[in-house]
Structure 1
Amino acid sequence: MNFRDLEAFKAVVECGSFSRASEELFIAQPSLSKTIQKLEQKLGVKLIDRTNRIIRLTDEGKLLYEKALIILQQKKELEFALGDMNEQITGHLKIGLPQIIGTFFFPRVAKQFSKTYKDVTLEIVEDGGLEIEKLVAKGEVDAAFVVLPAKSNELEVQQIYEGHFVVCLPEHHNLQDAKELSLQQLKDENWVLFDSTFALRQIVLHSCQKEGFVPNEVYNTSQWDLLIALVREGLAVAMVPSPLVKMFGNNIAVKEISSQYIPWKIGIAVKKNRYTPHALRAFLETVIEIYK
């Protein structure tokens, strides 16, 4: 017995005939008759007295009709309640933010999301990009902004942004007047790199290796402002995403890279095949809407 069976039986009773009920339900009368017969077989009772053309319910039919009204009303109320859940979203989300990415992408999303979904709280979890990926894969973080391509195969990722890398030199570097540079021109320089928890580090190392050298690493850091400060003080050169220097690149020389295009792709990641609560779905939709 299912909801369709009950709705068909209810229609027959309230219409007073199979023909009128079939018209209301938009199904053929023979099909409707078979549905009622199968319902009787499932229940093992007669529901309708068929000794004349007038629909008369047996005692069992009267009982089923009373219960069917209750069940179908509860079904309708449940559908309304589930619909309301979509409108009244509540919950608590943990959002993973690698240090650099969070600065550029999270504030705008948080402002829009919190304005729309006042009953959802957002908890920030900060760490290096590779560590953040692990937390999402373990289910300890609901969603995270990550550098693409993601290293973990357990993540479902959607790209939301693409920028590119540039080279940062001290303001009075001997190459400060060049319009653009190849990385190979910097092979003898001292470099400051992001530390091993950053996905960005691997991008820098791989890009330098493509041009035949390993950068001479004299400093590494997890702090983007310290990295820029070391360049500013003339202690090293660096390769960073262009948005970083647009915000904090005063008093340094910023050069486009001529020898290769090095993309900085950002995505929003969740664990594959996980249940997506309404609050998380709303957060992902907000991110996509802002950065589409």
Structure 2
Amino acid sequence: MLSIAVALMYFKGLHYFYEVAKRGSFTLAAEQLHIAQPAVSMAVKKLEQSLELTLFHRVERQISLTDEGQRLYRQAERILQAVADAELEMRELRGLERGSVQLGTPSMLGSYHFPSIIMAFRRRYPNLTFTVHEGGAWQLQTMLERGELDLAVIEAEAVPDTIQAVPLLREEMRVVVNAAHPFAGQGSVTPQAFLGEDLVLFREGYFHRKVINQMAEQYGIAPKINFETNLLPLIRSIVKQGSGISTLLTMATEDDPDLITLSFNPPVMLDLCLAWRKDGYLSKANRAFVDFVLESSRL
């Protein structure tokens, strides 16, 4: 068994190696670690010597991972995350942290679904800190798998085995137009008709865009996308001005009488879940939030 001193030496080298590989630069890694670059280079060199492997190709100030380096990078990511989880668990056992929650959520839910839940949660647990990260569903799932988020709202469809998920909500994707648009007087809109209009959509990576991409592929129609933006107020404004139509969750349109919403024919439903890593440590603060969200959804 390794002594603590040797284990710490290996861990430091592994940590430095991971930061260099992640950023593709010894200089950027040193800046992130707040240490001198020669110290990073020396630690990585010692790690290579101890493993008797070359981890980086070094050609004219450019570096890239060798095959061995790529394998170690994947292992290092898991090891470093496990150590971070263990440190958090030990700090909680010692009572040194009040606790924090980091939640990743798509912008529509961040704007319309979670504010009241988060405020109620803060009233119940005033000493906990809360951070919300907005992003696309695929981006949030990737951040969750990497340990960059504690919790994330992701699509319920095809949840990977590494993720634990509980159902959060089911919402309808509605066609959104202004009052002057020809669709405004209809009861519903077919996907073919929708795809033939000038569209304003979220960028790639958001569940909103994925729905349209799947629809376009199913019907073999290339959508006419006039605007791409992740700013929900801008999408609503463009639709109101008649410069395009969109599709949004019901919750994002209920407070605006200037927007007309219609169902797709057939209706398009979206299932979302609250998720976290199966192999990660879910802190007391995060467990409290999960329980609170599930309790709120039952009310």
Normalising TM by the smaller chain, what interval?
Answer: 0.5 to 0.7
Partners of 1:147 and 1:212 in 2: how far apart? Answer: 24
Specify the alignment match of 1:50 in structure 2. Answer: none
**C-alpha displacement at 1:151, in angstroms?**
6.0
**C-alpha displacement at 1:226, in angstroms?**
0.9
Partners of 1:153 and 1:218 in 2: how far apart? Answer: 37
How big is the alpha-carbon RMSD for the aligned residues of Structure 1 and Structure 2?
2.4
Q: Within 5 Å, which residues of 2 pair with 1:160-171?
A: 160-171=168-179
Structure 1: which 5+ residue stretches go unaligned? Answer: 1-84
Specify the alignment match of 1:283 in structure 2. Answer: 289
| Aligned counterpart in structure 2 of residue 255 of structure 1, from 246, 262, 273 | 262
Instruction: Tell whether the 8 Å contact from 2:174 to 2:249 is kept in structure 1 after alignment.
Output: yes
Corresponding residue pairs, total: 206
Specify the alignment match of 1:183 in structure 2. Answer: 191
**C-alpha displacement at 1:177, in angstroms?**
1.3
Secondary structure at the counterpart of residue 132 of structure 2: strand
Q: TM-score, normalised by structure 2?
A: 0.63
Secondary structure at the counterpart of residue 270 of structure 2: strand
Secondary structure at the counterpart of residue 253 of structure 2: helix
Specify the alignment match of 2:278 in structure 1. Answer: 272
**C-alpha displacement at 1:287, in angstroms?**
0.8
Amino acid at match of 2:264: I
**C-alpha displacement at 1:150, in angstroms?**
5.7
Instruction: Tell whether the 8 Å contact from 2:113 to 2:251 is kept in structure 1 after alignment.
Output: no
Instruction: Tell whether the 8 Å contact from 2:108 to 2:249 is kept in structure 1 after alignment.
Output: no
Partners of 1:168 and 1:234 in 2: how far apart? Answer: 11
Q: TM-score, normalised by structure 1?
A: 0.64
| Aligned counterpart in structure 1 of residue 218 of structure 2, from 210, 224, 234 | 210
**C-alpha displacement at 1:210, in angstroms?**
2.7
Would the alpha carbon gap of residues 106 and 190 (structure 1) be closer, same or farther in structure 2, given more than 3 Å must change?
same
Specify the alignment match of 1:201 in structure 2. Answer: 209
Q: Within 5 Å, which residues of 2 pair with 1:1-292?
A: 90-149=98-157, 153-247=161-255, 249-258=256-265, 260-292=266-298
Amino acid at match of 2:293: V
Secondary structure at the counterpart of residue 247 of structure 2: strand
Specify the alignment match of 1:63 in structure 2. Answer: none
Could you report, residue by residue, the CA deviation over 1:126-164 in whole angstroms, capped at 9, with x for unpaired residues? 222222211111111111222332665532211111011
Partners of 1:143 and 1:187 in 2: how far apart? Answer: 34
Amino acid at match of 1:246: E
Question: Higher Cα Rg: structure 1 or 2?
Answer: 1
Would the alpha carbon gap of residues 228 and 251 (structure 1) be closer, same or farther in structure 2, given more than 3 Å must change?
same
Partners of 2:151 and 2:195 in 1: how far apart? Answer: 38
Partners of 1:253 and 1:121 in 2: how far apart? Answer: 38
**C-alpha displacement at 1:173, in angstroms?**
1.4
Instruction: Tell whether the 8 Å contact from 1:168 to 1:239 is kept in structure 2 after alignment.
Output: yes
Partners of 2:276 and 2:215 in 1: how far apart? Answer: 28
Secondary structure at the counterpart of residue 185 of structure 2: coil
Instruction: Tell whether the 8 Å contact from 1:187 to 1:213 is kept in structure 2 after alignment.
Output: yes
Secondary structure at the counterpart of residue 104 of structure 2: strand
Instruction: Tell whether the 8 Å contact from 1:102 to 1:145 is kept in structure 2 after alignment.
Output: no
- Which segment drifts farther, 205-214 or 107-116? 205-214
Specify the alignment match of 1:64 in structure 2. Answer: none
Partners of 2:202 and 2:158 in 1: how far apart? Answer: 17
Instruction: Tell whether the 8 Å contact from 2:208 to 2:247 is kept in structure 1 after alignment.
Output: no
Amino acid at match of 1:280: N
Partners of 2:254 and 2:216 in 1: how far apart? Answer: 23
**C-alpha displacement at 1:180, in angstroms?**
1.5
Partners of 1:252 and 1:278 in 2: how far apart? Answer: 42
**C-alpha displacement at 1:266, in angstroms?**
1.9
